[in-house]
Amino acid sequence: MNSPSNEPKATTLRGRHLMEEPLLNKGTAFTTEERTALRLRGLLPPHVTTMEEQIDRLYGEFCAKGTALEKHTFLRNVQDENETLFYALLLRHIEEMTPIVYTPTVGEACQKFGKIFRRPRGLYFSYTNRDRMDEIFENVPAEIDVIVVTDGERILGLGDQGAGGMGIPIGKLSLYSLCGGIEPARTLPILLDVGTNNKGRLEDPRYLGWRHERVTGQDYDDFVETFVRAVMDRFPRVLLQWEDFASDKADMLLERYKNRLCTFNDDIQGTAASTVGTLLSAIAVTGEPLVEQTFVMLGAGSAGFGNYKLLVRCLISHGLSEDEARARIFVLDSQGLLHDGRTGLKGIKAQMLQNRELLTGWDFDLDKPHSAEDVVRNAHPTALIGATGRPGAFSETMVRQMAGNTKRPIFMPLSNPTSKSEALPSDLLEWTEGTALIATGSPFDAVDFGGRKHTISQANNVYIFPAVGLGVGAVNAVRVTEGMFLAAAIALGDASPAAVDPDGPLLPPLSEIRALVKKIALAVANQACEEGIADRIGEDEIKERIERSMWVPAYRELTAI
């Protein structure tokens, strides 16, 4: 990964053509000398403004917007006009604007993508253009370090959004640059448009995607294979992130390609590292060892599977056997507990089965319909994790049951967007009389309860995937491994403010994200070096590379050629 430079940059662009290039445009901040050399005189008002003045003006416009979607659209327009200023603005107001640029607002932006679309960004690979992928990639003039790709089938908790899912790769890569310092020019969002089964989108006159039912089976597999080969030919050292694919495809694609290129699935692996890291933070507050915890997980999709696998690995690293680790985790789908007495379970669900012999003495019949409350009542969990997309899935009954069994129960309603969260933090605190340790998937305001303000940490992947990108690039890693994600989770847990102050939040604030990402990137890079899949260098050099490679949103002097 090349180091972003603060040296002057030469350009052949002049006048309006230069101002229409968002990676070079400075707007009213072009200096007098630049306006002369680059033929900008007369195209701008005469006063030269500073970036700080531009940020203040834009923030005033941002605050004047009425709805979150209007604010999201405004920020995207800024990005399309002046990318450096966009990131400088976000960095100044990161806690306020991150939920606007990404979750939860990006969900609505995907649903209304055709309505708010203004300027193309990234690449669209439609199934109808499956024989033209190399030609499409010729539209990318620069070397690319990070690609985020989706087919739009499982956008957050909102389901199939087809081509509207492009909002997710755009948003994710914004966070790579904002939080991880990945140079925007070296990122590429991609949408694989294989149709949509969302009738509302197909019937919407503003829908911009291919108006066809989704391609499936071998045709789908061949299409993705052609795409991956084109990526490997064009960008052989790129980091490719799979994002928001349906559960049945997500694990299949990861398994198929994880040993062929540098790739990972954020819904499976990034979510897992964020979840496990947050669990480690919470468990440190309880004072009870990790190996004595019991976990109930609601949701057996991609996120649930990722959480399960990394949690098992983490428990094993703390001294348990694999069987002992699996015995401490109970996973439920919509039909109840996953156990080895259930028939017909395939794919990822078949990998998360509880040993039925260990359930002897439970007070209900596992072969008959049962609820999460039944499982909680019998399993006596210390932590409840939700990845269901079902608001209210954490019932008052089960929450109170947990509070009666453990002094500091841990609750992680992780579903996005906010409307899909399994529980409200205010309810969790009320039902546990303020003893709950809480982290959510979407942002929630602090809650006043019991005479103090409880900060609700967001167990968001934003702590993880930018660090993976930064760490991978710093040491030229050729693969992304489970060990690297466990290292990231441990580093996140070690950074918990609650480890120092039990009344503090479980995770650091977003205002500290760049410093935290560097620490997690160091852990990821060290692990890659230890596994022999990256440059063989020491920790001091890794730190230097990370510092050098972090892009900072500041204007560079432009010169004419």
State how far the alpha carbon of 187 is from the alpha carbons of 155, 156, 327, 502, in Å: 21, 22, 42, 39
Catalytic pick among 26, 71, 102, 258: 102
Asked about 102 being catalytic, the answer comes back as: yes
The Cα 376–Cα 404 span in angstroms is: 11
DSSP state of 557: P
> Which residue from 268, 274, 258, 102 is spatially nearest to 177, judged by alpha carbons?
102
Helix (H) or strand (E) holding 447: strand 447-449
Q: Where would I find the H helices in 82-190? A: 83-92, 94-101, 105-111, 113-116, 133-137, 167-180
Tokens linked to 172? 């994710």
DSSP state of 2: P
Tokens linked to 194? 């294989």
Tokens linked to 534? 């990256």
In the three-class reduction of DSSP (H, G, I as helix; E, B as strand; rest coil), residue 124 is classed as strand
> Which residue from 24, 22, 4 is spatially nearest to 12, judged by alpha carbons?
24
Helix (H) or strand (E) holding 202: helix 199-202
The Cα 376–Cα 392 span in angstroms is: 15
The residues, ordered by sequence, that sit 6+ positions from 345 with a Cβ below 8 Å of its Cβ are: 338, 353
Beta-sheet pairing, 452-454 with 447-449: antiparallel
- Please say whether the beta carbons of 491 and 520 come within 8 A: yes
- End-to-end Cα distance, the chain: 26
* Phi-psi region at 481: left, alpha or beta (left = phi > 0; alpha = psi -120 to 50): beta
In the three-class reduction of DSSP (H, G, I as helix; E, B as strand; rest coil), residue 192 is classed as strand
Tokens linked to 315? 């428990």
Q: Could you tell me how many helices (H) and strands (E) the chain has, helices first?
A: 23, 16
Phi, psi (degrees; rounded to nearest 5) at 240? -105, 120
In the three-class reduction of DSSP (H, G, I as helix; E, B as strand; rest coil), residue 410 is classed as strand
In the three-class reduction of DSSP (H, G, I as helix; E, B as strand; rest coil), residue 80 is classed as helix
CB-side neighbour CA atoms (13 Å) of 155: 32
CA-derived radius of gyration, the chain: 24
Can you state the angle between helices 271-286 and 482-494, rounded to 10 degrees? Answer: 40
The Cα 477–Cα 238 span in angstroms is: 10
Catalytic pick among 71, 172, 249, 349: 172
Tell whether omega for the bond before 417 is within 30 degrees of 0, i.e. cis: yes
The Cα 169–Cα 334 span in angstroms is: 29
Asked about 308 being catalytic, the answer comes back as: no
Tell whether omega for the bond before 120 is within 30 degrees of 0, i.e. cis: no
- Please say whether the beta carbons of 12 and 561 come within 8 A: yes
Catalytic residues: 102, 172
